[in-house]
Each structure stands twice: as structure tokens, then as C-alpha cells.
Chain A
Amino acid sequence: MTRPPVIHVAAIRKTYGRLVAVDEVSFDVQLGEIFGLIGPNGAGKTTTMECVEGLRMPDRGAISVLGLDPTRHAYALQERIGVQLQEAQLQKRIKVREAVALWASLYRRPVDGDRLIEQLGLRDKRNAWFMTLSGGQKQRLFIALALINDPELVFLDELTTGLDPQARRAIWDLVRGIRQRGKTVFLTTHLMEEAERLCDRVAIIDHGRIIDIGTPAELVRRHCPERSVMLVTEDSTASDRFRAIPKVQSVTSQGLQLTIRGREDDLVTHVIQCLAEHRIRVTDFRTELPTLEDVFLTLTGHTIRD
């Protein structure tokens, strides 16, 4: 039994004058998953997300969110979704708890605002004015506002920008908690680590086009199947032993350091078994497994930071 996707995007296109921000973008987001749209800044992530949220209208293509048209049924949709925008502002002198209370009053079934403030670590700032908050605190407030109506679908645009590593991990836990309660999350990020740790599936976008879609593991296997093991040994027979391992592609040496490359998932295991079997002594042992960053580089020819 296949359930209809929570978000269905079909060939949307958005141009601003001569700039093509989003070009033939299509993807689906399934119920209960954390789906990430990943790519560098300016790739079209925010434009795509805002089209899906109903804040912008694509020039072409079709979008369906929870079965609704985000442009025509905007208000009905707003009841059921939570939105955290990338660049957002509030009145300068509004207090944190006032903002949360205002948002809560706009929806039919809001959650406990105070508890949400607590969960996001803003309890000490309940009565602080918006303009006195740090970047990270503002970000957390906006996340609270996105969750106040207990939405079925949450949109998070670059949600850990400006957060220190500790706050970042806390937010990741929060997002996983949302998924655990059966909600669906659609997020954008340019941080590969975030995508790898958080997302069930990702779509890679660059210059307005979707390059590939899949789980992080699938994408790595598909585009960067190569992995390496680096070790330092004085044993001169080691290289030949490693070359004998099935499916090893190359063994190169630089002084006493050997680099073993292969495409197989079990490469690391086989190397370790080989070390044990032949009692090869090593003084350093490292593995290099490709990440989504390597996938991006392979697919686009440039790093995500360029």
C-alpha cells in the first residue's frame, strides 16, 4: 500500500528576470521522513522551499502539499504546517513569550507555549525583547513559532545557521523527536554533516537543478563507492598482501605510509583481517569514507563552499 506523498513537486520553474533560480525541479517527500534539500548558498533551496510553502508562485509546474495547492489554499494549509524562514524578523521590542502567545492565538490547537520555550532553552529569555536576543536565540524562537501549532509538516530553512555546536546538536535532537511523533520534516541545509546525521533522504541541488535524490548511503554508494585505508608499516611484504585482497583497486606507498583503495563495502574489514592473518605490524591506521561532500564534489565538479 503506497501512501500519497506529503509533498509532491513536479517540474517547477522560477525565474527572476534572466536569472533561473529553480529549473525543472521535481521531488516527493514521504510521510514521516526527514527530507533534506542540500546544496550551496544560491543553489535555489530557499526559492524552492518558499514555492512549496506558498510564499512564492512558480512560473511553471505543479506543487501539492498535504493534498492542497499551496497558493490557492494558503490559509487552510497554514493551519497544518509550521514554517521557519531563513531570514526572519519580529518587532524589535516584542517579548519572547508575547511572540509565542501571539502565534498560539492564531491556531486552533496550539501546544503549550511555555513548554516549548523551555524545550528550546529560552526559559531565561521569556521576558527579553526580540532585539536583545543573540542570533542563536532568535533562531530558536523562530523554531518555537514553527512548532507552536503542532504541525503535521514542518519546514526548516537552514535551521542551524548561527548556532554553536552544542545548540546545533540540541536542535538535531529536537528535529528527530518531531519525526518520532509521526511528523514529516522538510529542511534545507548547506551543511553536509547535518544532512548526513539528520536526513532519511536528500535531494542535491545546484544552480537551480536537482542533481540526484536518495538516502545518504545510496548516494555515496552510487557516486563515490571508493574508500581508502591509510596505514604506516615497516613490513615490506605488506603491499603485496594487500594487493591480493579481492577487489582492491590500488595500493600506493609514500615512504612507510600505504594507501589502499577499493570499491567494496567490506574493504576495511578485509584489510583488518589481512593484518591479523599475516601479523603485519602497523603504527598508524586510518580510514577515509566518502561523505556527501565528496558526492557533491563528484557530481558538480566544485565543493559546496565554492
Chain B
Amino acid sequence: MLRGLWRLTWLEIKIFVREPLGVIGTVGIPVLIYVGLGRLVSPRAGRVSPDLPRFVSVDLPIFTSLLIAASAVLSLVAIIAIYREGGILRRLRATPLRPHTILTAHVMVKLLFTATTLALMVLAGRRSYPMPANVPLASFTLALLFSTVSILSLGFLIASVVPTARFAQPIGTLILYPMLGLSGLFVPVGSLPPVLQVVARALPLTYAVSLLRGIWGGEGWAAHVGDIVVLTLMFFAFVAVSTKVFRWE
């Protein structure tokens, strides 16, 4: 039962936009950095240097998108912690509003701004990062949104239990950046020490990277059903646990 979800989501969007710093930080700065980096890497507009490292031409977009997803998670955790510390959650508790409705509303707001940021980045960075001809952009976007939802559900879980805003950033960072490191972006999962391999396979980012790389490379959805299944299962598991352990104050 998700009564009040749409109104709350729309309300949170309006509230977010009312704070100018929030929009600049979430949308403006990533776009500027992306475009700025692009100018630095390929100063001549329009031509992709043939000896550009694979990382930049293939993995950078994936890395960037995941970084944005990670920052979406961090800000989700932060805002819930701020609401909790500020007593807003407490006020909402004495209403029919359920914890998962509140979390879902914030997730949807984050998704919306993540998608907006990415779209703006693609548009603004067209010249510095021209798309290789055969990249299935629509599929990739879909895969990215799907991965973001799954990663955000991990954020759900962290947000449910983090007591104060002060802890939100450090805890989120402590979990997200190692997760990025183990996800297979930099070092193939198979090359990791066995213990870390186990850890990597328990984290959603690993499967997101595999899925995104595959779609970008044109491998198609069928080849990555395993990734999709795991991400879906993780989503439901994190959401279920977070509803049980949700701290109102």
C-alpha cells in the first residue's frame, strides 16, 4: 500500500528545486566536470583519438554513470538521516504514511535527477565524447536505470539504519567506494583474491558493471539474464530488510 506516494514524490521534487544549492550540486557540477574533463582529454572537437585507452572510451561512461548512481545513494542516505535527526520522520510516523513509501518517494526523486544529470551530460559532452557508432543507447539507458534502482535499494537499507546525518556520509562512502573498487571496473573480479571475490559477488555493483559493459558492447540482454536476476533479487531483499529495521528516530 503506497498511499500518498505520488503526492509526496512530487512535493519532494518541488522542495528539492527550491533549494538552489541542491540543484547546482547535484546536476550542474557533475555536468560541468564531465564536459570540462572532456575538453582536457580531447581538445580537438569531434575526433576520438584512436589510441585512447580503453578505459576512457568504454569504461569511463560506465564509471561515470555508476559514480552518479553512487552519489545518488549517498544523498539519499544523507537526506533520510537529516529528516530523522530533524524530527521530520517522527512527525510522519504519526500518520498512515509507511516507511517504504517515504523511502520510495526519495528514491524516485533521486532517480529523476540522476536521469536528468546523465541526459544533460550526454547532450553537453557530445563533442568531447562522441558515441561510438554501434552503441545501443536506449538499451544502455534502460540498463543503467535498472542498475541504479538496485543500487539505491542498498541505499534504502543504509538509510533505514543510519542514526544521524553526521554518520551518513562516512558510512555511505565506506561502503560505496570499496564496492566500486571490487566491482570489476578496474580489476577483473576473477583476478581478485578469493576472499574479496566472494565479497564482490555479494555486492550489486559487480553485477551492474557486468550488465552495463555487456549492453554497451552490444552483447544484448539475453546474455546477461543472470545479472538481471541477481540485481532484482537483491532489490527485493534490501527493501524487505530495510522496512523491518527502519528507524524513525
Say if the beta carbon of B126 comes within 8 Å of chain A.
Answer: no
A142, B94: Cα distance in complex, Å: 12
Q: Is the CB of A105 within 8 A of B91?
A: no
Which of A1-9, A79-87, A164-172, A258-266 has 4 or more CB atoms under 8 Å from chain B? A79-87
Name A98-115 residues within 8 Å CB distance of B.
Answer: 98, 101-103, 105-107
Count of B interface residues, CB-CB < 8 Å: 23
Q: Is the CB of B18 within 8 A of A106?
A: no
Q: Chain B contacts of A87 at CB under 8 A?
A: 87
Partner of A55, one of B11, B93, B97: B93
A212, B152: Cα distance in complex, Å: 53
Say if the beta carbon of A78 comes within 8 Å of chain B.
Answer: yes
Partner of B95, one of A89, A94, A106, A129: A106
Residue of B nearest to A99 (CB): B11
Known: A102-B8, A106-B95, A107-B96. A90 touches B3 (CB 8 A): no
Say if the beta carbon of A278 comes within 8 Å of chain B.
Answer: no
Smallest beta-carbon distance A98→chain B, Å: 6
Q: Is the CB of B7 within 8 A of A55?
A: no
Name B90-125 residues within 8 Å CB distance of A.
Answer: 90-91, 93-98
Q: Is the CB of A78 within 8 A of B94?
A: yes
How many inter-chain contacts with C-beta < 8 Å in the A-B complex?
55
Q: Is the CB of B4 within 8 A of A105?
A: yes
Q: Chain B contacts of A105 at CB under 8 A?
A: 3-4, 7
Say if the beta carbon of B138 comes within 8 Å of chain A.
Answer: no
Q: Is the CB of B87 within 8 A of A88?
A: yes
Q: Is the CB of A75 within 8 A of B7?
A: no
Smallest beta-carbon distance B65→chain A, Å: 29
Say if the beta carbon of A269 comes within 8 Å of chain B.
Answer: no
Q: Is the CB of A106 within 8 A of B88?
A: no
Q: Is the CB of B4 within 8 A of A102?
A: yes
Per-residue A-contact encoding for B3-32, CB less than 8 Å = 1, 0 else: 110011001101100110000000000000
Q: Is the CB of A78 within 8 A of B96?
A: yes
Partner of B7, one of A89, A90, A102, A107: A102
Q: Chain B contacts of A142 at CB under 8 A?
A: 91
Smallest beta-carbon distance A155→chain B, Å: 8
Say if the beta carbon of B86 comes within 8 Å of chain A.
Answer: yes
Q: Is the CB of A98 within 8 A of B11?
A: yes
Q: Is the CB of A53 within 8 A of B11?
A: no
Q: Chain B contacts of A90 at CB under 8 A?
A: 88, 91
Say if the beta carbon of A91 comes within 8 Å of chain B.
Answer: yes
Smallest beta-carbon distance B103→chain A, Å: 15
Q: Chain A contacts of B86 at CB under 8 A?
A: 89
A47, B93: Cα distance in complex, Å: 16
Known: A75-B96, A106-B97. A94 touches B11 (CB 8 A): yes
Residue of A nearest to B6 (CB): A105
Per-residue A-contact encoding for B54-86, CB less than 8 Å = 1, 0 else: 000000000000000000000000000001001
Q: Is the CB of B90 within 8 A of A88?
A: yes
Partner of A89, one of B4, B12, B18, B88: B88
Chain B positions within 8 Å of A, measured between CB atoms, are 3-4, 7-8, 11-12, 14-15, 18-19, 83, 86-88, 90-91, 93-98, 248
Cβ contacts A to B, 10 pairs, < 8 Å:
A78-B94, A79-B96, A85-B90, A85-B91, A91-B12, A93-B19, A102-B8, A105-B7, A106-B95, A142-B91
Given contacts A88-B87, A89-B90, A107-B96, 12 further A-B contacts (CB under 8 A): A53-B94, A55-B94, A88-B90, A89-B88, A89-B91, A90-B91, A91-B83, A93-B19, A98-B14, A101-B7, A106-B4, A106-B96
Chain A positions within 8 Å of B, measured between CB atoms, are 53, 55, 75, 78-79, 83, 85, 87-94, 98, 101-103, 105-107, 129, 142
Sorted from nearest, which 8 A-B pairs have the closest CB atoms? A83-B94, A89-B87, A88-B91, A93-B18, A106-B4, A105-B7, A106-B96, A78-B96
